[in-house]
Amino acid sequence: MAGEDGSGDQPPAPEATRVDAAAALEPTQKTRCIPFEDCVNGITKALRHPTVRFMREQMEKVGCPMPPGMIRAAECGTHTHTGNYSSGKGIKVCCDEILHQEDIDRLLIHELIHAYDDCVTKNIDWKNCAHHACSEIRANHLSGDCHYKRELLRGFMKIRGQEQECVKRRTLMSLDANPYCSGVAKDAMDAVWNICYNDTRPFDRAP
């Protein structure tokens, strides 16, 4: 999650720092991105994806309908993530890191889980590493980011326990970009792992 709750154990960081919940880019994934125009069209197509539609419906039910312009295409130039969610700003799709339509579909599901958490979790503080860790665990677990086929394409071929290892790996990759998690990312993730991994809202169970 991207959190916003103070914690006495958090390392100091500049007040102006904005924390984004970013979808990590695996080092082995980078090849040639799709054209920007195709990426923009791909976002429109992704909005018709059944799980994206479900997440949008659930956001409306909890009182947080998606406003116009919440999802935007961009050239990010980071080479570290495929997109992010920023509280109050919405979802950014990094078109220069997108390879396939499925990448956009999964990214929107991932980031909409962050947006859902931002809406339903009281006092969420994206600067609190435990809060951010919780949402990243949920987003990586529930979005399909760690489906075994995607892991095989990344070169991870362990049969047992790979999904949980993937969720932990990708959660830590995202937390590494949060300055408030410096030196405490793994401890924060471990502290919230059980409750957040098993929290499948708004799904009845993990898809």
Catalytic residues: 111
Query: How many Cα atoms within 13 Å fall on the side-chain side of residue 161?
Result: 3
202, with CB counted inside 10 A (0-12, 13-18, 19+), is middle
Closest CA to 70 of 33, 36, 116: 116
Which segments of the chain does DSSP mark as H helices, in order? 36-46, 50-61, 101-120, 129-142, 148-154, 162-175, 185-197
What residue type is assigned to position 30 of the chain?
Answer: K
DSSP annotation of 21: E
Q: Are 174 and 22 within 8 A, CB to CB?
A: yes
